[in-house]
Structure 1
Amino acid sequence: MKKFLICSLLGMVLLLDCTAQQGKPLIRFGLLSDIQYADSDTKGSRFYRNSLSKLESCVGDINSKDVEFTINMGDVIDRDQKDLDTVLHILDKLEQPLYNTPGNHDYSGLKDNRLLYEKLKMPGEYYSFKRGNWKFVLLNTNEVASYSNVEGTWKEPELKSMFEKIKKEGGHNAAAYNGGISSKQVQWLKEELEASQEKGEYVLIFSHHPMGCADGLTALNKKEIVATVSKFSCVKALIAGHHHEGAYCLIAGIPCIVIEGMVETAGQNAYATVELYPGKMVLNGYGRVHSRVINVKGN
């Protein structure tokens, strides 16, 4: 009887220990998009000046959530490069690393893209980083765009080709505020995913422009990008901004999450924390951002 009680107690201790471990995420990080600050009057639902106070609150709260890092998916400013330092001063208050990818508005008035990437402390025009067995890929869907200084470069013909293809297929995303990724970036993405697939890593892909869920606001060559990523089971979600209303859908069986924009509304904020667990991803939304629990197969 005594032996049975001891075994039962040991079993309960092990069960409680496993439950406690399950309760702690493998990784927790912050997520935001479309701050879109400008020292300008409100236009429609966009309260440009209000973004600063929202961002202050967002940064303070994210710092309290014990995150490992934060990802910002672009449109830090709305129209003037002089506003960039104002926003970055607040973002610099984040206590853990910040990883940026730019948005279309961030190129406004810019003549040299490298200046933007340096300000945003990006190691390259597009890049990836790892935490544990997870790889985080930050695409730059502004690389090939009418606003990102491609005139006279090898990227200009690629931009023309993208617009022609969209027109031929009757698409709705051939707009001046949308961009795509170059053939070189597509090849880089493929190599990144091949390496992760071989190593048994799990991948989350971030971009400013969505690959779906937002008709008329998607990346110019979204079909090519989706055709590439859908070949790899290591890709667990596509996460983007640009569409301020937010959205969720499945694209080729891959969860596509579009985060609501911070610039919208006078006082309601918009940001999230993401927790990665074995078998699931939990997005905790704050303000206008919807919370979601997404099953993650194979981890």
Structure 2
Amino acid sequence: MTDEPLLSFGVIADPQYADQDDDLAMNRYFRNSLNKLAEATATFESEDLSFIITLGDLIDRGWQNFEAPLEIYRRSRHEILFLAGNHDFLVEPEKVAEVRPRLGMPRGYYSFCRSGIRFLVVDGCEESLFAAGLDERIKASATERLDNLIEQGAINAKDWNAGMSQSQFVWIESELETARQKGQEVIVLGHYPLVPLTDHCLWDADVLSDLLARHAHVRAYLNGHDHRGGLGRQGDCWFVTFKGMVDTAQENAFAIVDVFADRLKIRGFGRELSRSLDR
């Protein structure tokens, strides 16, 4: 085994901060996420990280709640990246279109390269009931998709889940081909789980997981959303669901991912599990 990783990065999933009382029935300790974020980012400061990625649901709801957690991230010396989760869009309808810019995202889905690894950030909220905002066309399309899934008895036919457009799938295939031609391996980052199939999975889970598993240079798909966490494998691709930070009163949940040539090493903190995922 190679001793030095190609790169390392920090992972946080589902802080769901809000200045509101705990929801004990759901195990949601909203205000406590600020202290947990401060602990996680302080831990990351002593590490040589390429970036820190938050896998969606920085807030639970309410536009005014973005500022407090974002201020904690601003103190970090590391590059901070976000993708949007379903709860991030639970703001006033006229503010929905501003969510991604508020998180500093260049667009809903995007890619970047670090140390010869191509990262794809996918937008699982693209076609949804909550991210439509004032766009009635998107809302109608998402409603039709959800109704069809309910009629089929799909386990993930839930309004807190969502789907992706065909144009995004075309983009993903193009990015995978570009990576193949350049000899790059790929790690995909999303909000929704794909494998194993649960009630929290992306509406297009089987389509996207099949696509990723067909490409041997795709190392892993990393996500949040299902606060219970999870692990799956399809083909040579690992599917890792990170535990939700908001779920406990005190104990934290975050991770550092070390990318080696022959494995991914996940160093879990608090409730998050440590794993070694071999090629």
TM-score range normalised by the length of the shorter chain: over 0.9
CA distance in 2: counterparts of 1:215 and 1:89, whole angstroms: 34
Aligned residues: 276
Q: 1:61 corresponds to which residue?
A: 43
| Higher mean C-alpha deviation, range 151-160 or range 168-177 | 151-160
Q: 1:294 corresponds to which residue?
A: 277
Gaps of 5+ in 2: none
**1:133/1:90 CA distance change after superposition, 3 Å:** same
Which residue among 71, 78, 84 is the counterpart of 1:102? Answer: 84
Query: CA offset at residue 161 of structure 1?
Result: 4.7
**In structure 2, what residue type is equivalent to 1:118?**
P
**In structure 2, what residue type is equivalent to 1:246?**
G
Q: Is 2:24 the partner of 1:41?
A: no
Q: Is 2:4 the partner of 1:24?
A: yes
Q: 1:11 corresponds to which residue?
A: none
CA distance in 2: counterparts of 1:232 and 1:150, whole angstroms: 35
Matches within 5 A, 1:101-140: 101-110=83-92, 111-140=94-123
Q: 1:9 corresponds to which residue?
A: none
Query: CA offset at residue 252 of structure 1?
Result: 4.5
Query: CA offset at residue 149 of structure 1?
Result: 1.3
Query: CA offset at residue 194 of structure 1?
Result: 1.1
Which residue among 153, 162, 170 is the counterpart of 1:187? Answer: 170
Q: TM-score, normalised by structure 1?
A: 0.87
CA distance in 1: counterparts of 2:120 and 2:68, whole angstroms: 27
Matches within 5 A, 1:111-260: 111-149=94-132, 152=135, 154-156=137-139, 158-213=141-196, 215-260=198-243
**In structure 1, what residue type is equivalent to 2:267?**
N
CA distance in 2: counterparts of 1:178 and 1:255, whole angstroms: 21
Contact persistence 1:35–1:77 (CA under 8 A): yes
Q: Which secondary structure state, in structure 2, belongs to the residue aligned with residue 159 of structure 1?
A: helix
The percent of aligned pairs where both chains have the same amino acid is: 28
Q: Which secondary structure state, in structure 1, belongs to the residue aligned with residue 123 of structure 2?
A: coil
CA distance in 1: counterparts of 2:214 and 2:235, whole angstroms: 10
**In structure 2, what residue type is equivalent to 1:279?**
D
**1:133/1:153 CA distance change after superposition, 3 Å:** farther
**In structure 1, what residue type is equivalent to 2:86?**
N
> CA deviation digits over 1:27-48, x for unaligned, max 9?
0110011000111111121111
Contact persistence 1:284–1:290 (CA under 8 A): yes
**In structure 1, what residue type is equivalent to 2:262?**
G
Query: CA offset at residue 278 of structure 1?
Result: 1.4
**In structure 1, what residue type is equivalent to 2:265?**
V
Q: Which secondary structure state, in structure 2, belongs to the residue aligned with residue 273 of structure 1?
A: strand
Q: TM-score, normalised by structure 2?
A: 0.93
Q: Which secondary structure state, in structure 1, belongs to the residue aligned with residue 157 of structure 2?
A: coil
CA distance in 1: counterparts of 2:251 and 2:89, whole angstroms: 26
Query: CA offset at residue 163 of structure 1?
Result: 2.0
Q: Is 2:74 the partner of 1:82?
A: no
| Higher mean C-alpha deviation, range 103-112 or range 137-146 | 103-112
**1:158/1:150 CA distance change after superposition, 3 Å:** farther
CA distance in 2: counterparts of 1:176 and 1:165, whole angstroms: 12
Contact persistence 1:144–1:150 (CA under 8 A): no
Contact persistence 1:236–1:255 (CA under 8 A): yes
| Higher mean C-alpha deviation, range 45-54 or range 110-119 | 110-119
Query: CA offset at residue 266 of structure 1?
Result: 0.8
Query: CA offset at residue 200 of structure 1?
Result: 1.4
Q: Is 2:55 the partner of 1:73?
A: yes
Q: What CA RMSD, in Å, does the superposition of the two structures yield over aligned residues?
A: 1.7
Contact persistence 1:214–1:243 (CA under 8 A): no
CA distance in 1: counterparts of 2:210 and 2:139, whole angstroms: 23
Query: CA offset at residue 173 of structure 1?
Result: 1.0
Query: CA offset at residue 181 of structure 1?
Result: 1.2
**1:69/1:260 CA distance change after superposition, 3 Å:** same
